[in-house]
Amino acid sequence: MAFKLSSELVDAAKGSGDAIRKKKRLIEWQRQIERLHIFVNP
């Protein structure tokens, strides 16, 4: 458990890792939703 947490923290500091990928994916989804909202409701 401690090893997994420490490796995730090191990956986050490097800008990689599972948490960073999930955050980037979430931001991309939010942008797509905003674009669709503008397209549907001009």
SS3 call for 31 = helix
Which among 1, 25, 20 is positioned nearest to 33, based on CA atoms?
25
Q: In this structure, what DSSP letter does residue 20 have?
A: H
Phi, psi of 39 (to 5 degrees): -70, -40
- Report the amino acid identity of residue 42: P
Q: In total, how many domains does the chain have?
A: 1
- Report the amino acid identity of residue 14: K
Q: Which tens digits make up the pLDDT trace of 3-42? A: 888 888 898 888 888 888 999 999 999 999 988 887 777 6
What is the residue range of 28's domain?
A: 2-40
Is this structure's pTM higher than 0.75? no
Number of alpha carbons in the 13 Å side-chain half-sphere of residue 28: 6
